[in-house]
């Protein structure tokens, strides 16, 4: 991925990502539950790395890799989703050779900032009507917004055309959004029964 995005664009994405991470760290420093949040963030980061390493066959001929970030955003908060995505991408680069340094900012913007914030927004908007609807819709819309963000980044970089992206990325991520949305409904319903205090943490 390194070299696909012009350096000046990569710098913009890095700045957005670093500022978002800095806001998270500031909010964490003010939290009365920061020790617990650090522990849960580490656990979710490890789980996200493991989940991204698992390949599941799909009808599209491309292996599915689940995000897990929407789950983090709903349980720990949107900025927590950003930091988990950021840490996951760093670990993937240094340990697994995935991604790249110049595109880390763009990837953080996509699966961290866009995915987490939109997931949490739609979750909060709809969870008062029905929590399961909020979880599914938040996950689904988060992945769709992240996909749109990725499409815009690739178009701006001039490395792909819209027609190709519409044919390849959109149907694939629509499929993932439905599957991951359903899985998150099940996971959070399970957590609410066995460890309900996890869902009551202050959100960052």
Q: What is the 3-state secondary structure (H, E, C) of 27-70?
A: HHHHCCCHHHHHHHHHHHHHHHHHHHHCCECCCCCCCECCCCHH
Going by the DSSP 8-state scheme, the letter that residue 2 receives in this structure is T
Give the domains, in start order, of the chain with CATH numbers.
Answer: 7-200 (1.10.1760.20)
* pLDDT computed for residue 100 by the predictor: 79
User: For the chain, which residues score pLDDT lower than 70?
Assistant: 1-3, 55-65
Q: In the chain, where does DSSP find H-type helix? A: 7-30, 34-53, 69-76, 78-91, 104-108, 115-127, 131-157, 162-194
Collapsing DSSP to helix, strand or coil, 99 comes out as coil
Q: Do residues 189 and 132 touch, judged by C-beta distance below 8 A?
A: yes
State residue 116's pLDDT score: 96
pTM confidence score: 0.90
SS3 state at 103: coil
CB 69 within 8 A of CB 80: no
pLDDT on residue 21: 94
- Looking at the DSSP bridge assignments, the partners of residue 64 are 56
Nearest to 65 by CA among 94, 96, 106: 96
pLDDT for the residue numbered 180: 93
Say how far apart CA 22 and CA 115 lie, in whole Å.
Answer: 18
Q: What's the pLDDT score for residue 58?
A: 52
């Amino acid at each position: 991925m390194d070299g696909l995005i012009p350096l000046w664009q990569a710098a913009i994405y890095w700045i957005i990502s670093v500022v978002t991470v800095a806001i998270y760290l500031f909010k964490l420093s003010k939290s009365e539950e920061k020790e617990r949040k650090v522990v849960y963030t580490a656990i979710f980061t490890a789980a996200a790395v493991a989940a991204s390493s698992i390949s599941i066959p799909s009808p599209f001929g491309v292996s599915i890799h689940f995000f897990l970030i929407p789950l983090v955003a709903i349980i720990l908060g949107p900025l927590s989703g950003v930091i988990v995505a950021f840490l996951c991408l760093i670990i993937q680069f240094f340990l697994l050779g995935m991604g790249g340094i110049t595109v880390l900012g763009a990837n953080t913007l996509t699966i961290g900032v866009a995915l987490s914030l939109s997931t949490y927004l739609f979750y909060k908007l709809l969870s008062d009507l029905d929590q399961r609807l909020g979880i599914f819709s938040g996950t689904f819309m988060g992945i769709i917004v992240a996909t749109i963000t990725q499409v815009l980044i690739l178009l701006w970089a001039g490395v792909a055309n819209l027609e190709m992206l519409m044919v390849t990325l959109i149907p694939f991520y629509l499929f993932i959004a439905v599957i991951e949305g359903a899985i998150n409904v099940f996971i959070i319903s399970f957590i609410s029964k066995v460890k309900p205090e996890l869902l009551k943490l202050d959100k960052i």
